[in-house]
Amino acid sequence: MLFEYGRRVEGTRVAVVGEESVPGVIYELSCDIRIDDSSKLTVENVERVRQELKDRFGAELIYLGVDQDKAVIQVKGSPFSWGAFLGVLPAILQIIGLILLGVTIVAIIRTIPVWQLILFILALMLILGLGEKVIGIVSTIKGEGE
């Protein structure tokens, strides 16, 4: 590991199935990352991240391990929403110079029921199709006016 903070807790790993964390349970997130600025990988900055997680979510940072292209984060659960937690995680980890790639999008999509996701995609297709027609009409009207 390039940088480690805390002591990693070993145990059985199971997929998260709930939408909220359970108090006292340790969760591990493995993220593909890109190191933005390795000089920010300091204990002081990780302490700021630890405090931010405590203040916002009541979550306790147990372990943070950073390699060239992977980060492992262990937090002790307190009742918090995974959608909110993962949505804020990239902003919090920018403090230590890490940029998460796609973990938020994947986590949010996994929490949305399939039927809602299909409806969203269909609505997006309809909106984009309608937008394309409106742009075509406006450009035609603009072309006739000249």
Contact 108, 83 (CB under 8 A): yes
Task: Write out pLDDT tens, residues 56-105.
Answer: 888 899 999 988 888 888 998 888 887 788 778 888 888 887 776 566 66
Task: Show the domain range for 135.
Answer: 113-146
Tell whether 33 and 101 lie within a shared domain. Answer: yes
Task: Write out pLDDT tens, residues 25-36.
Answer: 888 888 888 887
Question: What domain count does the chain have?
Answer: 2
What distance in Å separates the CA atoms of residue 63 and residue 46, rounded to the nearest whole number? Answer: 10
Q: Which residue has the higher pLDDT, 45 or 15?
A: 45
Tell whether 22 and 87 lie within a shared domain. Answer: yes
The pLDDT score that the predictor gives to residue 51 is 92
DSSP calls for 25-54? -EEEEEEEEEES-GGG--HHHHHHHHHHHH
Average pLDDT over residues 43-53: 91
The pLDDT score that the predictor gives to residue 33 is 83
Query: By three-state DSSP, how is residue 4 classified?
Result: strand
Tell whether 121 and 94 lie within a shared domain. Answer: no
Tell whether 95 and 118 lie within a shared domain. Answer: no
The pLDDT score that the predictor gives to residue 61 is 92
Q: Which residue has the higher pLDDT, 12 or 64?
A: 64
What are 71's strand-pairing partners?
31, 66
Task: Write out pLDDT tens, residues 95-133.
Answer: 887 776 566 666 667 777 888 878 888 788 788 877 778
What's the whole-model pTM score? 0.64
- Give the residue among 66, 76, 51 at the shortest CA–CA distance from 99: 66
